Chain A
């Protein structure tokens, strides 16, 4: 492939963006240089806090306060703007709120964000928002602009565009909204499209479709694409070139095949390794076998959960009820770990919470058998009688920030269950908490600190320490690693596996990420619209899925290997009788 200077759309030279507060200066972007070429895709990849988003915002000169561009140039070549007169423009030198930079934004460089609902106005129709974007930059009357809006919606493959143009964002699904955002970004045929984690909030099947759409649109319009992501699978799927960012710096930069095949920088190697580790089953899980004759710890039969719309003074019941769980049945042997995978809204979180009786299931049986006790049907118990069972079945939460009380110290948080079940108090409690903290890899000296002093990974360890404090028999982990960076994921999962050996724990691992399930689960149940569509050994379900929905789910997962790009054909699932 020949690369000439005429291809260059935008050059970022030695860019530094700092956030200066009273106490410290955070160098969010530190001497970064990038080149974006016509028709090519540059993926900027890195973990949270690596400065990817700030780099994108610095290009458009929309850095949030107190950040500011300290040094460097952002040079836009071959612009068609009249005031530039065909000369390259340094965007970093323009006034951030001036008239000139505004003519660049949207027309020459467009941006789409992670959360489409937050960037679309909820009180205007999709059409009127696209029309506004058109008329800001192009001389067009209302009717022409509307016709163009319909055409754009068609181009991003929104069904029935002439009707969709008059819908409101809340009527669209997440994927449709992201398509509409893309349509809005492309109306002025920008030379550069910056996409900041556009698929992170989407389900994996929707993500696959958006990625495909972006590739098609790029070949249609020939714009340069700067794609920001933390997901190496997405990078392998879409990138021509990759820039790896770490702590504000670009540590490695090169063609996608070179980065994946022969990473040079130790950070890139570490990052790729932590992704590849999750592509296989953990060796810790492999060495583990079920004790022969292990009893069944949990037996769920015909579990149903209906969310009724709220009954009010003037409302009748029955409307808008949602069947979140529909005759779900599975059983779990002692020491086994069962993965539950599904897309958002499939009912997997509801299932976890029903098993723990945080939510009241509307029908079914949950037979729970404690070690050397008789099985009990939890679904039939009155709510106050649950307390003794919560000692043996524990929950690990998804959000490591919301699930720890910010007003309590670690000692209080981890010691809370021990205290409430009357197991320990005073110095005995302190000793136990110290032991637990050491076990999950936290320094016991920090037990009098508050959770805000800890990072996401450390907070999740606190949550695990709290969960194992009572020596439980069953742990439900609800997306326990999805808020964490990929390099931490395997560590947390390894910790869970080790604890599982030691305490002979059974796990229910709820995740949207099939690699997490494959890494540590013995069996997996695939959920779709409140039902378990497939359940079986993890290996066989992942490699040889039987149900068409499972097949579509597995085929949509991007593989972190650019050589396999487009190899596996996408399978689309059309549920019959879809409503």
Chain B
């Protein structure tokens, strides 16, 4: 028996050899991408999502003002329209972006201030305008903003102003960073917990599985909202905002890991009995190689899909907690914190634009859900 003898025979190819299509050597990622591209809603949502996360990354530069800059003259100022063209002295249309000024009248009886848009006053607006120096990511000092009034101190409230005359647009852009990252960090934490515990549970089975599953059932039997409320209320109010932020993410992921652990366990259980896993065992593969090289590629895509569906839950939970005043506290700006302003009937009546952060939440959650759906459909390109 020598190694060379089989090669020497050089058998002709069997008659069932079919010419292979170009998909034959497509890797899993390429097949998934091809499948994902067909899901039109998911593609649109993915673009929206990328824009949202870019906003979160560059909110200091994108926001016209600082989120804490206030102006008592413009409390509850309504949104302004951005005009791109203006007529010059000769009556010709020229490109000159501007916003109109406000005229304030005070009702002598109710002492209520009403804003009327004043067509005569025009505040010119420009791109890359000079601003107060600010810190980008707390590292670089910058003096330019993407958009802002050319004359310093001119009012520009594209999404209106709140009770202290702060610019809603700037606050929502800043809120994006906190709200969107809390989802990511929270899900990462629950993912680590979920994969480790779910993997142990599914791969080894037996009493390990028993203990982990009963723990999950116990955690799931706790009513979540009171638990969050209790834990959040237990945090000292004098903690720095960053520590509160971290604690909130941990509280949220304490519940979130359970569903991920169940998904991972289910995939492990079904894969463990697959023929190709048995084949890998017979091929002499060690345990870690079976898990990471043979089984993981088959469920990692499902997990990505599951994760993208779990992020909206986190975002909504943070929003709900903050809305109730138990999550993040006002010096920090998240969409939930912003919505606290819209808690009373007066807000609905006089300043409906305070709900704008709610719209941001809806868009982000919908986009994440659609992307998750698309990923889940694309996760198994071999299904057909």
Contacts and interface: CB of A to CB of B under 8 A. Distances in A.
Interface of A: 313, 356, 358, 387, 390-391, 394-395, 397, 399, 402-409, 416-417, 420-421, 432, 435-436, 438-439, 441-443, 446, 448-450, 452-455, 457-458, 461, 466, 471, 488, 491, 502-504
B294 A405 contact: yes
A572 B10 CA distance: 49
A458 B9 contact: no
Nearest to A421: B284
B289 A420 contact: yes
A416 B16 contact: no
A219 B313 CA distance: 65
Interface stretch (B19-27, B228-236, B249-257): B19-27
Given A438-B6, A439-B9, A491 B14 contact: yes
B281 A458 contact: no
A446 B25 CA distance: 8
B276 A420 contact: no
B1 interface: yes
Given A407-B298, A450-B24, A503-B1, A439 B281 contact: no
B282 A395 contact: yes
B111 interface: no
B285 interface: yes
B285 A416 contact: yes
Nearest to B298: A407
Contact of B275 (A403, A442, A491, A504): A403
A439 B274 contact: no
Contacts of B23: 452-453
B16 A488 contact: yes
B277 to A, nearest CB: 8
B297 A407 contact: yes
Contacts of A436: 6
A402 B298 contact: no
Interface string B284-322: 111001000010011000000000000000000000000
Contacts of A454: 20
A356 B282 CA distance: 9
Given A356-B282, A405-B279, A450-B25, 20 more contacts: A358-B281, A402-B275, A403-B278, A405-B294, A420-B283, A420-B285, A435-B6, A436-B6, A439-B7, A439-B9, A441-B17, A443-B13, A450-B24, A450-B28, A452-B24, A453-B21, A466-B279, A466-B283, A488-B16, A502-B6
10 contacts: A313-B210, A395-B282, A402-B274, A402-B276, A406-B382, A420-B286, A439-B9, A448-B25, A455-B18, A502-B1
B25 A417 contact: no
B283 A439 contact: no
Given A402-B274, A448-B25, A435 B7 contact: yes
A435 B9 CA distance: 10
A358 B278 contact: yes
Interface in B171-220: 210
B298 A406 contact: yes
A443 B382 contact: no
A296 B343 CA distance: 85
Contacts of B13: 441-443
Given A420-B289, A453-B25, A457-B14, A387 B283 contact: no
A500 to B, nearest CB: 13
B279 A390 contact: no
Contacts of A491: 14-16
A454 B12 CA distance: 17
Given A417-B284, A446-B24, A439 B6 contact: yes
A471 B1 CA distance: 10
Contact of B276 (A390, A404, A435): A404
B7 A438 contact: yes
Contacts of A504: 1
B20 A407 contact: no
B11 A439 contact: yes
B318 to A, nearest CB: 36
Nearest to B278: A358
A454 B5 CA distance: 26
Contacts of B89: none
B3 interface: yes
B110 to A, nearest CB: 65
Contacts of B286: 420
B1 A452 contact: no
B5 A502 contact: yes
A576 B124 CA distance: 101
Given A391-B284, A404-B276, A502-B5, A409 B297 contact: no
Nearest to A443: B13
Nearest to B21: A453
B280 interface: yes
A503 B28 CA distance: 36
A443 B12 CA distance: 9
List the 8 closest A-B pairs by CB distance, nearest first: A453-B24, A420-B284, A439-B6, A403-B275, A407-B297, A417-B283, A449-B24, A402-B275
A561 B5 CA distance: 41
A399 to B, nearest CB: 6
Contacts of B14: 441, 457-458, 461, 491
A217 B298 CA distance: 49
A107 B15 CA distance: 44
